[in-house]
Copies of this chain bind each other. A is one copy, B any other.
Amino acid sequence: MGEAAARGRKSIGAKRNPESADAIIEAAEAVLREAGYAGFSIEAVARRARAGKPTIYRWWPSKAALLIEIYQRQKHVETPDTGNVEDDLAGFLENLFAHWRDTPSGNIYRSLIAEAQSDEAAAAVLAEYSRERRSHTGRIIERAKARGEVAADVDAGIVADLIASYAWRHLLTGRLGEDEAAIRAAVGYITRGILTA
């Protein structure tokens, strides 16, 4: 199905046609994969899905909403739990970079961030999503605090922010291929500091 969306797909009456929704989602992914964010338009998605634009607008009020949905459909990256905060953070970043690099996720998220720069709604949705992720990453720190590995007065949110920032910037500047050493060094500075002992 999907892109190949049944040539003559029809309305199934007075309720949402899940075939159409699927076809649209899959078309959106395909367009993003093949033409990138530059070629990603509602128009292009509609063409590819053999759907009318209003059908898309009915269910996703903006490009951003569609991006969010297809991003969330991707399977998520796992946060390791090694018992060591440095390994946890570095491992998380390595997984995240690999995930962004090897699946459409990276492109999708990148697009979403770009979209949020000119679309209020996208910005809101992204902010909400970021808040969630922040607390998620923060859990790595909280666990370490519970273990006594990390100082109790450390603000987990700010650390999560630093980690997420590092990831974002690499995503946005196309540097997801960075070697592990750099990631480990960056994480090391956050955990152990850069001052002379």
A182 partner residues in chain B, CB cutoff 8 A: 155, 158
Copies in the complex: 4
Q: By the criterion CB–CB under 8 Å, are B172 and A116 in contact? A: yes
Q: By the criterion CB–CB under 8 Å, are A189 and B159 in contact? A: yes
A113 partner residues in chain B, CB cutoff 8 A: 114, 117, 172
Asked if A143 is at the interface (CB within 8 A of a chain B CB), the reply is: no
A127 partner residues in chain B, CB cutoff 8 A: 173-174
Asked if A132 is at the interface (CB within 8 A of a chain B CB), the reply is: no
- Given A165-B165, A172-B117, A149:B196 Cβ within 8 A: yes
Asked if A103 is at the interface (CB within 8 A of a chain B CB), the reply is: no
- Residue-wise, chain A 89-114 has the 8 Å CB interface mask toward B (1 for contact) of 00000000000000000000011011
Q: By the criterion CB–CB under 8 Å, are B166 and A172 in contact? A: no
Instruction: Please indicate which of the listed interface residues A36, A186, A189, A197 has the most CB atoms of chain B within 10 Å of its own CB.
Output: A189
Q: By the criterion CB–CB under 8 Å, are B169 and A165 in contact? A: yes
- Residue-wise, chain A 112-132 has the 8 Å CB interface mask toward B (1 for contact) of 011011110001001100100
29 contacts between A and B (CB under 8 A): A36-B118, A37-B117, A85-B195, A111-B117, A111-B118, A113-B172, A114-B117, A116-B172, A116-B173, A127-B173, A130-B173, A148-B196, A149-B196, A150-B194, A158-B182, A158-B186, A158-B189, A159-B194, A161-B166, A162-B162, A165-B169, A168-B169, A169-B169, A189-B193, A190-B190, A190-B193, A191-B193, A191-B194, A193-B193
